[in-house]
Structure 1
Amino acid sequence: MSLLIFSLLYLEPGDVARNLLGTRPVNAQTLAQIRAEYHLNEPFLAQYWTWLTQAVHGNFGISVQSGQAVAGEITSRLALTLEIVGFALLLSVALGVPAGVLAGLRHGRGTDRGVVGVGVVFASAPAFALGLLMLYLFASDLAWFPVYGTGTGVAGRLYHLALPALTLALGLGGFILKITRAAVIREVDQDYVTFARSRGLANIQVLGLILRNACLPVITSLGLTVAYLFGSTLLVEQVFSLPGLGSLLDGAVLFKDVPVVQALTLLMAAAIAVTALLVDLAYLALDPRLRHEMAAS
């Protein structure tokens, strides 16, 4: 991934040395000094090798745009992005899972079609377009939420991040709704449900059995949502003018700030990989059949 991103940035039009000089007078000597300082006069593979040898030792270099250490640039913005992602994930589960259970239990009825229709609309809407609609409706027109800013304190933070998180959660909630609905429909037709009902178990007890088995594919699908959230958060942060990793990545790509783009890309890839691992471990903890198979082997 690092080689792919490095190659794309290398092929991107523009000159980092000229970007650094801005509107100041440009001469060949100044350009040569800047290119030598940032190894821009070296061949492509040599530039990549220089970056890689530093990265494997934990040194992701200096930002070309700001002159600050890349690690510090990311650390200063990471908390805000993680807060938005975590808040959005909680909201999407709170919205998508109950709606999916309701649609699954009412399969084929008007309630099912209505809930699925709403979910498809939100899942299909681009995050940036939905964010603009949210800003216009709830921030500008109704003035229920602030237009921009991050707030202070826990309550202020939640208040300012509620609209960006809800923007992400609506799209993600539609995806979780569809997964939950399909899982519930599959479990409702299983023999153990018929047996439980024939034994006279209460509806709430039968529902508990259904949800316990239906949650496994839902939890597995949550690993995919991390990639969606990180990708969509970058756009949503731009819409709501939030100083998170999204705005940092946007400026770095436009400026051809290779160290920043490389570090952010690897950070997101690592987050997705760790999430996938945690999902697999959760699946193992929740499904006794897998533990039994592992013990037997």
Structure 2
Amino acid sequence: MAATLLGASFVVFGAMYLAPGSPASFLLSGRSASPAALQAINDQYHLDDPFLVRYLRWLGQVLQGDFGRSITYRTDVSTLLADRLPATLTLVAMALLVVVVLGLALGWIGAVRGGATDTAILLSTTLAVGTPSFVAAVLLQGLFAVGLGWFPTSGTGDGLLDLLWHLTLPAIALALYLIGMLARVTRSAMLEALDGEHVAVARSRGVPEREVIRRHVFRNSLGTVLTTGGLIVSTLLVCTILVESAFSIGGIGQLLELSTTTKDFPTVQAISLLIVALFMTVNLVVDLLHPLVDPRVALGTRRSGA
């Protein structure tokens, strides 16, 4: 993880300098400036230093918890992240809860019941997978917020309950695509487990069908489902940028969009590196949990090592 983060930090830092324009042009806002004024800006933000020198200076500050000072907001990037990160994490947590509950439930029902129920679930999940998050955000906002007036159209409100109320529609819009994906993965994994010999043996021994499904089918499918967890969380982190913009939520997603537009290098670099770190942490947790959910993974590793 340390080596990957180091490589990611180099890519994140260098990518902004490949884009056209510069922080100095934004700070000047199109106004002409004397060479002395332009030089003062370059000296303040070390824009004239060699690329490697700027990168090593930035990396040393990041390791100390200092992400620099925002060019747009004229404040520390760490302060901006601390103010906006709670809203984004709450939105992602709400969406993840909806994805896990509905995705697993629909996949379970479709695999177990089959027939018309399974067909209906397949059609609905296909529609969900084919609906991008920003399209779902516009449709939900137009119907339930503007049309019916059941939910707020934008913002995060005041207080925890008001925050949850404001984030309900964004969470659903963010989760819709992933609900369909997780449901289809769960259904396929359970159907494959249903054909296993251990299921036939359990049924021949008179084990109740509910126990067969819970202990021998669903539990054996969790390994495949858990592997999808990293992809789900990474998709949530990326798509929250679009959803936050649609609902005007003051989170890091909207901050990233605004900072990219204004060439706010320190803010974009900090948010990008934070997203990479969160993604890597989630994948690490998934890798650590996988052997606990499916002991065959650990046994296979030991045998290959032996």
| Secondary structure of 2:17's aligned partner | helix
Moved more, 140-149 or 48-57: 48-57
Q: Deviations over 1:195-231 (max 9, x none)?
A: 1111222221111121111122112211111110000
* Structure 1 stretches lacking a partner, 5+ long: none
Residue 159 of structure 1 is matched in structure 2 by 165
**Structure 1 residue 192: deviation in Å?**
1.2
2:265 maps to 1:258: yes
Q: Deviations over 1:110-142 (max 9, x none)?
A: 322321121122112121111011100110011
Residue 291 of structure 2 is matched in structure 1 by 284
CA contact (8 A) 2:23 2:265 kept: no
Q: Which residue of 2 is the match for residue 104 of structure 1?
A: 111
* Cα distance in 1 for residues equivalent to 2:168 and 2:9: 33
Partner of 2:221: 214
Q: In the alignment, what sits opposite 2:55?
A: 48
Query: Which among 221, 234, 242 is matched to residue 241 of structure 2?
Result: 234
Give SS of 1:78's match: helix
For the 8 Å contact 1:10–1:44, the answer to whether it is kept is: no
SS in 2 for 1:20: helix
2:184 maps to which residue? 178
The answer for the alignment partner of 1:223 in structure 2 is 230
Match runs of 1:76-91 below 5 Å: 76-91=83-98
What is the CA distance between 1:292 and its match in structure 2? Answer: 4.8
> Contact 2:12 / 2:273 at 8 angstroms: preserved in 1?
no
The CA distance in 2 between the partners of 1:164 and 1:96, in whole Å, is 17
Residue 43 of structure 1: CA displacement? 3.0
The residue that corresponds to 2:39 in the other structure is 32
d(CA) in 1 for partners of 2:301 and 2:29? 61
Q: CA RMSD in A?
A: 1.8
In the comparison of the two structures, how many residue pairs are matched? 296
- The runs of 4+ residues in structure 1 deviating greater than 6 Å are none
Partner of residue 10, structure 2: 3
Deviation at 1:291, TM superposition (A): 4.7
Q: Identical aligned pairs, as a percentage? A: 38
Counterpart residue type for residue 116 of structure 1: L
AA paired with 1:128? F
Give the letter aligned to residue 62 of structure 2: A
- Map 1:60-99; keep pairs closer than 5 Å: 60-99=67-106
Q: Which runs of 5+ in 2 are unaligned?
A: 1-7
Q: Summarize the alignment of residues 195-210 of structure 1 with structure 2, pairs less than 5 Å apart.
A: 195-209=201-215, 210=217
Between the aligned partners of 1:276 and 1:7, the Cα distance in structure 2 is 25
Instruction: Check the 8 A contact 2:241/2:254 in 1, yes or no.
Output: yes
Q: Which stretch shows the higher mean deviation, 110-119 or 180-189?
A: 110-119
Shift of 1:157: 1.8
Q: How does 1:104-143 map to 2 (within 5 A)?
A: 104-107=111-114, 109-143=115-149
**TM-score, length of structure 2 as denominator length:** 0.91
Normalising by structure 1, report the TM-score.
Answer: 0.93
Structure 2: distance between partners of 1:163 and 1:174: 17
Contact 1:219–1:283 at 8 Å: present in 2 too? yes
